[in-house]
Amino acid sequence: MLSLIEKIIFAIFIAVSVFLTYRGARRIVNQIASGQGKPDWSLAPKRLGAALVKYLFFTPVFRFRPLPSFLHAFIGWGFFVYLLVNLNELIFAFTHFNLLHNSGVPGNVYRFLAEFLSFALMFGMIGMSIRRYIFKPATLTTRDTTLLNPAARKGITVDSMIVTATFFTHTLTRVVGESFYLTRAGISDAWQPLTSAIANLWANMPEAQLLFNERLMFWISLGLVFAFLPYFAYSKHIHLFVAPLNFALKPERKSIGQLNYINLDDQSIEQFGAAKMKDLGWEQIMDAYACIQCFRCQEVCPAYNTGKILSPAALEINKRYHLKKGDTEAPMLNLISEEAVWACTSCGACVDICPVGNEPMRDILDIRRNLSMMESQFPKQLENAFKGIERNANPWNVPQSDRLKWADGLNVPTIERNPEPDILWWVGCAPATDARAQKTAQAFAKILNAAGVNFAVLGRNESCTGDPARRAGREDIFFAMASQNVEVLNEVKPKRIVATCPHCLHTIKNEYPAFGGNYEVIHHTQFINELVGAGKISLEVDKEQFTVTFHDPCYLGRHNKIFDAPREALNSTGALTIEMPRNSAKSFCCGAGGAQMWKEEEQGSARVNATRFAEAKSTGASTLAVGCPFCLAMMSDASKADGGEIQVKDVAEIVLERLKTNP
């Protein structure tokens, strides 16, 4: 199709574009490599299938915002097909061989997909443009109070305009160019009905004009692509190439909340946490390039939802805009305010919802590590919790001698009395020391005894797992508690551990293996289900039916994927369960995680626990069930503030009330 001189000029144009694109890509690779650690490339082959499904079918995208996700998929699928279409156009322009018009089934399917996705892509772009530029939803930006790079506030919109204009024009001119080709070749293609209809418009056009127009459309269409390629490295749409690397190469984690092991016995370590961007892991820097800048993480963040200045999306975007300037030395507190850092509940909602696998929560906890360990800079209310863990092995600072007082009058054997139990019950600090949470422990003890379970507790030998300290950045306290607890547990050699607190479950199950502690750990609602299923306990399901709504604890649900057990336990009591709008993996936080339990909540428009309680109240249920002592405390406080009409109970308490042989 192209003349010799055109081929030479276009080849030079391609070479310049590819060279500039290579420079941009090399720059990105170097910036990612400036982070800590190195990718484990052996992970990629094992994850190839799952990564391809996510990448090609946009399965993570469809979990949220269904209509925009549908439009995004059209654009994405159009992009994939156009990689092949554009290659075909180049081959045709230089060799006159047009794969697109080969006969047979492959050619027919190819032509149909090229046409369908051309128009689907343009439709998607129009729809997304109307949404962004006309409706302007608040979900596509952040509040003025949130720290966001000034260049980003305007730059995101401009970037989207450039990309939309480029690829809409590219697609339209390719379709029009194809219509000139069909007219010139005298073809009416049933597999390209819309393009053929457009071709009819040029039926009386001279062939020389048709050929000129076809060449012009080629130059505009493919010229735009190669003109845009060097810009790709600076556009947010580089996520199209970085996202699959995120899926394939992210370090293996036992859960979204598992933090990396730091050996504090290594005296050579001089830096804890992230003071500057270069202190982040390589994958955390890559997150900035994978980021779609869709603000979905912000939309599910409990802190942002209650008017606080934390936005996980703004953090990733700020990282990206500093990387645009080649700045990997940027102080992290230039990218996110200190107040925002301490507003995070470590609920994991941002990590769970991100369609490209980014982990802004991990950045925030790394910043906390630096502030707490290197600067001794943390909310002063946390001092009492830290001292309590260090002195009395619990953040409530209750004497260790009182650790088993909750069990007075109950048959709760210690490991000394029963050295070979089938179940080692890890009670947890809250159920052992907090007056309200103690009722959960007492209820579960009665259930165990009613079922005749051979169990034991550590009693005074049980200490805080270190979770509150770790989420607040105090790795030194966590390291001491983890080392001590693993030593105790390895001596006991438990067959199974049942934990009443999801935070204890998460830490022992997912983070203690790094310390040499590998155990089977389950939640008490899972064990209750086992007892019901095995006929070890019988429940009076014929009692007056009551309505209950279950609040998924973040560290039970999102962090450890335990959704069914608490609901099945409630159903076994005959309760009518009503789901809240946000439930299971999309559950809203109670506000206590991430060490928030021991500090004042940052300023906002509402309290996190009150916001969640209002959602529970809207279901009309008479009882709000929980499976975590932190959630129990936060929801109980919210219920009292609301007048106390809704009862807040742990699942174990509800099950105990329905036991046929209630001891």
Dihedral sign computed on CA atoms, order 345, 348, 351, 355: negative
Residue 450's pLDDT is 97
Read off the pLDDT of residues 34-52 as tens digits, 9 standing for 90 and up: 999 999 999 999 999 999 9
| Residue 393 confidence (pLDDT) | 97
Q: How far apart are CA 298 and CA 283, in angstroms?
A: 20
Paired residues of 499 in beta bridges: 426, 523
Where among 323, 353, 374 does a domain terminate? Answer: 374
413 phi-psi bin (left φ>0, alpha ψ -120 to 50, beta other):
beta
Whether 99 maps to a domain, the answer reads yes
Residues 389 and 459 in one domain: yes
pLDDT at res. 256: 95
> Do 514 and 464 share a structural domain?
yes
- Token pair of 332 as six digits: 């992290």
Answer positive or negative: Cα dihedral of 397, 401, 403, 405.
negative
Domain assignment present for residue 349? The answer is yes
User: Going by DSSP bridges, is the β-strand pair 547-550/521-523 parallel, antiparallel, or unpaired?
Assistant: unpaired
Q: HSE-up of 364 (CA within 13 Å, CB side)? A: 30
445 and 517: one domain? Answer: yes
What's the total number of domains in the chain? 4
Give me the half-sphere count of Cα atoms (radius 13 Å) on the Cβ side of residue 229.
19
Closest CA to 2 of 101, 91, 86, 111: 91
- Domain assignment present for residue 41? The answer is no
User: Do residues 572 and 516 both lie within one domain?
Assistant: no
Q: Are strands 497-499 and 521-523 parallel, antiparallel or unpaired?
A: parallel
Residue 662: pLDDT band with limits 50, 70, 90? low
> Per-residue pLDDT averaged across 419-427, rounded?
98
- CB-based burial label for 514 (10 Å; 0-12, 13-18, 19+): middle
Average pLDDT over residues 283-308: 98
**Distance between CA atoms of residues 431 and 441, nearest Å:** 5
Share of the chain above pLDDT 70, in %: 100
Task: Assess whether 520 and 572 both reside in one domain.
Answer: no
Per DSSP bridges, beta strands 647-650 and 576-577 are unpaired
Asked if residue 437 belongs to a domain, the reply is yes
Across the range 227-255, mean pLDDT stands at 95
Q: Are residues 514 and 545 in the same domain?
A: no
In a shared domain, residues 510 and 619: no
Together in a domain, 492 and 593: no
What is the C-alpha R_g of the chain? Answer: 30
Assess whether 618 and 489 both reside in one domain.
Answer: no
Q: What are phi and psi of 147, to 5 degrees?
A: -70, 110
3-state secondary structure of 546: coil
Integer Cα distance of 350 and 358 in angstroms: 8
Q: Is it the case that residue 507 has pLDDT exceeding 60?
A: yes
pLDDT digits (tens, 9 = 90+) for 359-376: 999 999 999 999 999 999
Shared domain check, 355 and 415: no
pLDDT tens for each residue of 583-601: 999 999 999 999 999 999 9
CA distance 257 to 471: 10
pLDDT on residue 262: 96
Task: Look at residue 543 in the predicted model and tell me its pLDDT.
Answer: 77
State the pLDDT at residue 661: 67
For residue range 90-128, list pLDDT tens digits in order: 999 999 888 777 778 989 999 999 999 999 999 999 999
Residue 132 pLDDT level (bands cut at 50, 70, 90): very high
Strand, helix or coil for residue 207: helix
Whether residues 349 and 389 fall in one domain = no
Note the maximum CA span of the chain.
Answer: 101
Confidence of residue 555 (pLDDT cuts 50, 70, 90): very high
* Cβ neighbours of 416 (radius 10 Å): 11
β-bridge partners, 497:
424, 521
For 285, 291, 411, 430, 560, the CA distances from 522, given in Å and listed in that order, are 34, 34, 22, 18, 10
Q: Which of 374, 398, 421 is the last residue of a domain?
A: 374
pTM of the entire structure?
0.95
For residue 663, is pLDDT > 70? Answer: no
Same-domain pairing of 16 and 95: yes
318 in a structural domain: yes
DSSP 510: I
* Structural domain that includes position 509: 382-531
Residue 148 domain-assigned? Answer: yes
Where does a domain end: 309, 339, 374? 374
pLDDT at position 149 over 80 = yes
Average pLDDT, the chain: 96
In a domain, residue 26? The reply is: yes
